[in-house]
Structure 1
Amino acid sequence: MRKIILITPLLALLFTSCQYFDKRVPSKDELLEKELKSINWNEVDEFPSIAECEKIKDEAMRKQCFFEFLTQTIQQKLSIDTLAILYPELDTIDVKVTIYPDATMQFEPQFPKDSVAYDTIKIDSILHARLVDFPKVNPAIKRGIPVKTQFVLPVILKVE
């Protein structure tokens, strides 16, 4: 006659649970590397902003508010200058805007590589002279930390 041995679920757990102790615990460097690889470094959690736009709850509208403010402010500051007189055919200029984590800003005109029609040094100096005293801009945020961001804005110089 055969004996049937019943193993209760608790005993079965005791007999099989030892395998859980054999798993290797990843080191902190491996965990850090895995986490760093999972982060998309080309996107920010929060775009740069100004105080007026931060009141807006919708992220897309807040971003639009910021870019409209930035474009309009640059246009206003450049409209009172000699760019239109020096270069009457120049109606739009691309401006690379860099916002640093400490909220400082840098503006650089962008021209095609083969552009010899414009005195890029003169336009650059006009840009730097006119875009001082820029309103305070809060930097972009990534994982709770202010980060540097760059983008190119087309700025219309001749508004008719």
Structure 2
Amino acid sequence: MKRIVVLLAFALTSCSYFEKQVPNEQELLQKELKAINWNQVDEYPSIAECEKLTDATQRKQCFFEFLSSTIQQKLDTDTLSVLYPELDTIEVKITVNPDATLVFEPQFPQDSTAYDKKKIDSILRVRLTDLPKINPAIKRGIPVKTQFILPVIIRGE
């Protein structure tokens, strides 16, 4: 019986030897937030055809090549090359939202007044409506918004 009492007393007092300083929740959060590279995603946006590739660099390249060629094909049939024969390339800012919606915005030089920006923007919006489903970028398992500027070649006739 004495052994049980001694063992019980030892067990109760020895718990203090195992106590560790528990880090503050806010300190842990701040440390984790600083460790995250917010300028890079874990997975880039993608389409179903590119999902088959296992290498991240190849998937990214596949996605950008698909998007660039698809936009060029859709704009080939339009009047941009007729309206603006001097315009051979247009830069398009593409936003892929977490809900997989896309936003296209043409980018023009600051001093550019030679183009009707509203007209080009409306042509882009009309032509780029029925693209295949694009999966958003992933950061730490969560879909995130990404933006990039893609040069699109306007082919003349």
> Do both share a fold (TM > 0.5)?
yes
Following the alignment from structure 1 to structure 2, what is the Cα–Cα distance between the partners of residues 60 and 102? 23
Shift of 1:27: 1.3
Choose which of 58, 62, 68 in structure 1 pairs with 2:59: 62
Following the alignment from structure 1 to structure 2, what is the Cα–Cα distance between the partners of residues 23 and 138? 44
In the alignment, what sits opposite 2:141?
Answer: 144
Correspondence 1:101 to 2:98: yes
Q: Deviations over 1:76-111 (max 9, x none)?
A: 111111101100110100000000000000000000
Choose which of 8, 26, 30 in structure 2 pairs with 1:29: 26
Instruction: Give 5+ residue unaligned stretches, structure 1.
Output: 1-19
- The SS at the match of 2:92 is strand
Moved over 4 A (4+): 20-23
Percent of paired sites with the same residue: 72
Shift of 1:28: 1.2
CA root-mean-square deviation: 2.0
Q: Is the 8 A contact 2:136 2:145 kept in 1?
A: yes
Amino acid at match of 1:91: D
Q: How many residues in Structure 1 have an aligned counterpart in Structure 2?
A: 144
Q: TM-score, normalised by structure 2?
A: 0.86
Amino acid at match of 1:47: Y
Q: TM-score, normalised by structure 1?
A: 0.84
Amino acid at match of 1:82: T
Following the alignment from structure 1 to structure 2, what is the Cα–Cα distance between the partners of residues 85 and 159? 7
Following the alignment from structure 1 to structure 2, what is the Cα–Cα distance between the partners of residues 26 and 58? 38
- The SS at the match of 1:89 is coil
Q: Is the 8 A contact 2:81 2:156 kept in 1?
A: no
- The SS at the match of 2:37 is coil
- The SS at the match of 2:105 is strand
- The SS at the match of 1:121 is helix
Amino acid at match of 1:106: V
- The SS at the match of 2:138 is strand
Instruction: Give 5+ residue unaligned stretches, structure 2.
Output: 1-16
Residues 26/159 of structure 1: CA separation in 2 closer, same or farther (3 Å cut): farther
In the alignment, what sits opposite 2:47?
Answer: 50
